[in-house]
Every structure is written in C-alpha cells, then in structure tokens.
Amino acid sequence: MYTLLVQKELKNILLSSKFTATFIVCSILIILSVFIGIQEYNNAVSQYDINQQIASQNIEEANGWDRVRNIAHRKPNPLQIFVSGLHFDVGRLSNISSRDDVKLSRSPYSDETIFAIFRFIDLAFIVQVVLSLFAILFTYNAINGERENGTLKLAFSNSVSRAKYLLAKFSGIWLGLIIPLLIPLLVTLLLLMVYKVPLSGADWNTIAAFFGLSMLYVTFFIGLGLLISALTQKSSLSFLLLLVIWIGSVLILPRIGVMTAGQLVPVRSVAQIEALQQAYEQQQWDEYSESLSNSWKQRMQEMEGMTEEERQAYRDEHEWNWMEEDDALRRQVRENITKNNRLLLEETQNRKNHQQQLAFNVSRISPASSFRLAAMNLATTDITLKSRYEESMRTYRDIFTEYVEQKKEETDTQGGFQISIDSDEGVSIDFGRDDQKLDVSGVPQYTAPDVSVAAAFGRSIIDFGLLSIFIVICFGGTFVAFIRYDMR
C-alpha cells in the first residue's frame, strides 16, 4: 500500500511536463552556476598567484630592509564556487608594514564594480531562490489538488489510512524532487574534477554537507507546500498563499531582519576609526617629539660649561645610551599606537559582533536566512571572513615586522636616508644601501587562516537544527491538518 502510494506520487511527478521543464531549467542553472563559479575561482587563483609573485618581487627589489613593502593577499577558497558568500565584498589584500595597521581593502566588487550590479549567482542562491520556488510549485496542490480532482475521495473510498497516505505522499514527492536534483549536483562534482579544482578531503566533506543542507532546505519547502495545501480547500488559494510566504521568507525577511537589527546597533565606520587612530597617533608622536627635545635640552644642560673636547668626550661616552633611550622611547610610542589601534578595533569588532548576532538571530525567523548563513559558515565565506583574515594578518604583521627589524639590525641600515650638512663638506647623503637584491629566502610567508571542518560545522549546526525544527513543525502541522481534512 505504502509503496503503491509512493510509486504513484513518483509517477505523478516524473510524468508531468512541469517536471520536465523544471528539471531542465534547474539542471542548466545548477551546472551553469558551478561552471561560472569555477571560471571565477580560476580567475581569482591566477590573480592571487600573480599578486603573490609581485609581492615577493617587491620585497626582493626593495632598496633595503627598511624600505620593504609587503602585501598579504586573501587566498581564494574553492568552496566559494558553491557559496560565494562575502568573497566578493570583502577586501582582497592588506599592506603589511610596521607603520600601518592591517586593513583588508580592494574587494573584488570595488575593483570590478561592473560585476557588482547584478552580483554573482552561486549555487547557494539557486537553491535558496529557484529550487525553493520549484519545491512550492510541485507541492502547492498536493492535497487540495487531489480533492479538486476527486482522486482524494476515490482513494479514501478504499481502506487507506490518512497517516499512511500522507507519509507516502511526502516520501513520494521528496524522492521525486530530491533524487533528480542529485543528477545535476553530481555533474557539478564531475566538473570540479574535470577542471582539477584543488579540493582537500575536508572540502569534499564540506560540499557533501552543503548538498545535505540544500536538501534539508528544499525539504522544508516541500513540507511547507504540503502544510498549506492541507490547510486550504482550493489549490488556487494555496498557491497564492505559498507564493506570498515564499516571497516573504526568501526575499524579504532576511533583508528586513538584517537591516533593522543592523541599524539598531550603530557601529563606527572604518573612516571614523581611522580618524580616531590618527588623532591618537598624532598625539603620541607630538608627545614623543616633545620629550625628545626635552631630553636633548637636558643633555645639553649636562654639557653646559664644558669645553669642546670635554663635550666630545662626554658625547662619545653617552651617545650610545642616548640612542638607546631614544630608540626605546620610539618603540614605546609605536607599541602604544599599535595597542590603541587594536583596542579601538577590538571595541568596534565587539560591537559589530553584537550587531551581527542580533541581525542574524532576527533574520533566522526565515529558513532562507538559516540556509544562507549555514551555507556560508560551511564554505567559510561567512561574516567572519574579514575579521578572520585581518586577525591572522595582524599576527603575520607582527612576525614580519619583527623579522624586518632584525634584518635591519643585521644589515645595519637605519630608516630612511641620512642627510648631513656640514659647512665644510657641504651636503652629503647616505642611503646606506647595498645594490644587491635582498635575500628573501628567510622572509616569513603569510599563510591563510585555516578553519577546521569541525569548526565550520559547529558554527552551522544551529541553522541545521533550525531547519530541521522548521521541517518538523511543517510536517507535524500537515499531519494534524490532514487528519482533520475535509475531503468533500
């Protein structure tokens, strides 16, 4: 009985022209999106490679360790083929230097704004928008359509239990929609292999989890379609209702949730933070130069009344200490600035995290948000993409600047060039440089932060759970509604 009902549902779906049309459309879309995604990824990778080369070349060709300019780049992530997430919105690179703080800038969209107009279609988008719409299209009349057909009456003139019928209906529709969906998805995996996209074992697991998530999401809309069609008598009404719910939950609620919550918690803009940082920096350097001139004055005072020779001797004796003192002071100032910068950033980041948490939680009333957030978390193209990279680049900056400092001392070059003006010798400039290329073999390399699969899963588990709860609610609701459904 159960298998018979499942078979019928399957046949009913697979034999319809509706199915043929949507299957073709979905397959084209899925394969096209992954194909374009692979192209985009390869593009990003080749750009990344070139940029890496340029960066190390720039270090190599610098005129001295003090003039080394380093840039760290965000590494393209093969999973962005499926879930581009924030990849296109977040800056690609940051300067790494002792002077500037780390800041990701030049997002792919700001560099190539033309692609920002319509944005990129990734698989996550297709699942979120197109597949959910199709799921509704196949379920809006699942129950009330059979009532209108008279087949519901006819079926229940036999000894069929409602529970069994509903279960069979659900499984039939589920199989009929999900299994065909697997075909283009498997084709995309094939594409990944043909184009030799470098995927680790963990990446494959993540892709599998993403496919699972997509199925969960589509299942929700199947359940929703069944629920609404079990709550209404006319398929035209259930269709309209479902469409409205679809528009609301897929297109509207995520935006509204994020926009309102985002604006409830105002966060400082980057320019604002920078101005604050600069003001502090200025103040620190002003203090520094003041204390420097004070100490000079003091030293001069100490030498007051000495003869020229005594002065020279005194100077020779103390010069090293003085230099060390000044140097220590300068280091202190730098440290203060860095500390203050980080403090400001941390403060802002905390506020941002608060804002984001609030926004996400509000938008999670829509399963579409849950799906999108979980997909991004899985693919690690989520909201933490920026802070994650900036954090790791900061660590790298410390390592790098320390290395450069050390090299500077080794090669004994001071910052900038020295201009000495002497009434006898005129002006002489010391660039303190060697014309050789710098030996960059020992330069610490930046490695992209790695998010373990477990961590990525961990962060998406809430949304997996939420989607499951939504499904259970839908199914439970359908069950209750169908048990009391008026079949006439």
Applying the rule CB under 8 A, the residues between 93 and 152 that interact with other proteins are 93, 104-107, 109-121, 129-130, 133, 137, 148-151
User: Is the Cβ–Cβ distance between 260 and 358 less than 8 Å?
Assistant: no
Token pair listed for 438: 């710098």
User: Is the Cβ–Cβ distance between 95 and 69 less than 8 Å?
Assistant: yes
CB atoms within 10 A of CB 209: 19
339 lines the binding site for other proteins (CB under 8 A): no
322 lines the binding site for other proteins (CB under 8 A): no
Amino acid at 257: G
- Choice from 215, 258, 345, 474 touching other proteins (CB under 8 A): 258
Q: Write the CB contacts of 260 (distance below 8 Å, at least 6 apart in sequence).
A: 362
- Choice from 27, 45, 51, 187 touching other proteins (CB under 8 A): 51
In whole angstroms, the minimum distance from the beta carbon of 145 to other proteins comes to 10
Encoded one letter per residue, x for contact with other proteins by CB under 8 A and - for no contact, window 362-401 reads: -x-----x--xx--x------x-xx---------------
- Choice from 63, 97, 349, 411 touching other proteins (CB under 8 A): 63
Encoded one letter per residue, x for contact with other proteins by CB under 8 A and - for no contact, window 8-47 reads: x--xx--xxxx--xx--x---x--x---x--xx--x---x
In whole angstroms, the minimum distance from the beta carbon of 220 to other proteins comes to 18
423 lines the binding site for other proteins (CB under 8 A): yes
Judged by CB under 8 A, the chain residues 267 through 306 that form the site for other proteins are 267-272, 274-276, 278-279, 282-283, 286, 293, 296-297
- Size of residue set near other proteins by CB under 8 A: 133
414 lines the binding site for other proteins (CB under 8 A): no
486 lines the binding site for other proteins (CB under 8 A): yes
Q: Write the CB contacts of 414 (distance below 8 Å, at least 6 apart in sequence).
A: 66, 408, 432
Closest CA to 225 of 208, 247, 201, 243: 243
Q: Which residue has the tokens 């609030």?
A: 358
320 lines the binding site for other proteins (CB under 8 A): no
Which residues sit opposite 419 in a β-bridge?
Answer: 429
Cα 220 to Cα 246: distance, rounded to the nearest angstrom: 11
Judged by CB under 8 A, the chain residues 171 through 200 that form the site for other proteins are none
216 lines the binding site for other proteins (CB under 8 A): no
Please choose, out of 186-194, 334-342, 422-430, 445-453, the segment that lies near other proteins by the rule CB under 8 A: 422-430
Q: Which residue has the tokens 């719910």?
A: 245
419 lines the binding site for other proteins (CB under 8 A): yes
Judged by CB under 8 A, the chain residues 447 through 466 that form the site for other proteins are none
In whole angstroms, the minimum distance from the beta carbon of 296 to other proteins comes to 7
In whole angstroms, the minimum distance from the beta carbon of 344 to other proteins comes to 11
The runs of H, that is alpha helices, within 195-252 are 201-231, 235-246
Cα 341 to Cα 106: distance, rounded to the nearest angstrom: 21
Residues, the chain? 488
321 lines the binding site for other proteins (CB under 8 A): no
Which residues sit opposite 139 in a β-bridge?
Answer: none
Helix (H) or strand (E) holding 421: strand 418-422
Identify which of residues 51 and 97 has a Cβ nearer to other proteins in the complex.
51
Helix 201-231 to helix 132-139 angle, to the nearest 10 degrees? 30
Cα 74 to Cα 443: distance, rounded to the nearest angstrom: 18
In whole angstroms, the minimum distance from the beta carbon of 200 to other proteins comes to 25
Query: What is the 3-state composition of the chain as percent helix, strand, coil, each rounded to the nearest 5?
Result: 75, 5, 25
In whole angstroms, the minimum distance from the beta carbon of 205 to other proteins comes to 24
Helix (H) or strand (E) holding 428: strand 426-430
